[in-house]
A and B are shown apart, each in its own frame.
Chain A
């Protein structure tokens, strides 16, 4: 047994629980099995079958994030909440920084926007850190917009001037990227991001990338060409994702329909799980209070805090050991 890893995890969890409970957040426990999921085309799911005593069956899905349940609580007036939850994502490579079953910390703060969540997250990391935690996790966050990061690391190109898919594609080719066929703006953006930005981010201090392009659709509020969300990179690893939560039911409904079509087109011919979605959840979104939610991968945070090289080093039973 990897006793040190177990002790580190247990300490970190109790520090995190104390941090949020002391600040008035309610710890909640929501299900990991759900009858429907929020459509997210690029996150593959695990499906399973519930069979009742009359042998009638119903498909259920392992949650990729507790978001769907936590938002129901927020819409009912729960106030600020947090949860440490098991989450499940399929079709990812085992090892390094992925295990199909992993632990997510999600915290939603009522009346906060995404900028308030940056300060909260920085403070939380410092106050909950393990004794072994290196300075690279505890240093001040460097905050930059995705537009600034692209300018800095991808040959000075300006996303504001490249809103047309053709223009962005030309810029990507000029940077030396080969784009084999027609593709959407966000796909080309991701090529640039993965090849030039993500690999260049400083590793000696946390970097908070804010204002992702609006074309990358999700349930974060839009503002001009961008969306009010951020991702936190520590040591070059993506650790957390934050939204100013979308609260417009119609915008959410549009998202649901488009994203589900995209999901179907990516999964219809390869045997991947196609989850049920329930559009009435968009009314829940319409009933949300103003709030900002953060999802943080605790296995990755543990890796960084203990200096582990692989996610398997912080798991007692990594799946890669048995597969």
Chain B
């Protein structure tokens, strides 16, 4: 059992016998009341989404999951193809259950995955990742306004708003949760 207040994004819970992954959690305090946590839970197998708002002190059944490293090989538009780096076992993970992850995961890169009953429940993407700028708009000439920005596309296809000095071929660090530019990375 786990206290609701300790549930984080990615925590695996057993709800009515089914594994669910917490995809969003927000603490809410009613005026002068004890803390609550609003959870959005998703079943990685059926895609079913549950919304629950429970007291931080409530206990919930959590699952003993394993964390294993998987290499992301490619996606075929339907599934991510992942390979366990220790056993070389290959797995298909439905892309629909990990919306937008194809824009964040790099081919060949290894990701820590949450595994339960031989199923990948969650793919853990680091909160800050360095990407290569594959395409960059030219900055508009004469645009010298302080704080001016433009869009670039990373090698994974993610569009990010960046300062105008960022050029194609450079590397940038991106916050993968907000998809926001953090800084230019040299070298």
Contact = CB atoms under 8 A, between A and B. Distances in A.
Interface of A: 1, 3, 40-42, 91-93, 96, 98, 178, 180, 186-187, 190-191, 193-195, 198-199, 212, 216-218, 231, 238, 241, 266
Given A180-B59, A195-B53, A190 B33 contact: yes
B181 interface: no
A194 B146 CA distance: 43
Contact of B26 (A40, A96, A187, A241): A96
Contacts of B26: 93, 96
A93 B27 contact: yes
Contact of A238 (B27, B31, B34, B36): B31
Contacts, number: 55
Nearest to B177: A95
Given A93-B27, A96-B26, A42 B35 contact: yes
B55 A212 contact: no
A91 B56 CA distance: 12
Contacts of A96: 26
A193 B32 CA distance: 12
30 contacts: A1-B147, A41-B34, A42-B32, A42-B33, A42-B34, A91-B35, A93-B27, A178-B54, A180-B58, A187-B55, A190-B30, A190-B33, A190-B34, A190-B36, A190-B55, A191-B55, A193-B30, A193-B33, A194-B30, A194-B33, A194-B36, A194-B38, A194-B53, A198-B28, A199-B53, A212-B31, A216-B31, A216-B32, A216-B33, A238-B31
A212 to B, nearest CB: 7
A229 to B, nearest CB: 8
Nearest to A196: B53
Contacts of A217: 32
Chain B residues touching A, range? 10 to 19
Contacts of A40: 32
B168 interface: no
- What 6 A-B pairs have minimum CB-CB distances, sorted nearest first? A190-B33, A93-B27, A190-B30, A231-B31, A194-B36, A195-B53
Contacts of A195: 53
B33 A186 contact: yes
Interface of B: 26-36, 38, 53-55, 58-59, 146-147
Contacts of A1: 147
B144 to A, nearest CB: 15
Contacts of B32: 40, 42, 212, 216-218
Contacts of B29: 42, 92
Nearest to A41: B34
Nearest to B29: A42
A281 to B, nearest CB: 18
A98 B28 CA distance: 10
A188 to B, nearest CB: 10
Nearest to B30: A190
B95 to A, nearest CB: 27
Contacts of A190: 30, 33-34, 36, 55
Given A40-B32, A42-B32, A96-B26, 18 more contacts: A1-B147, A41-B34, A42-B29, A42-B34, A92-B29, A178-B54, A180-B59, A190-B33, A190-B34, A190-B55, A194-B30, A194-B33, A194-B36, A194-B53, A195-B53, A212-B31, A218-B32, A241-B31
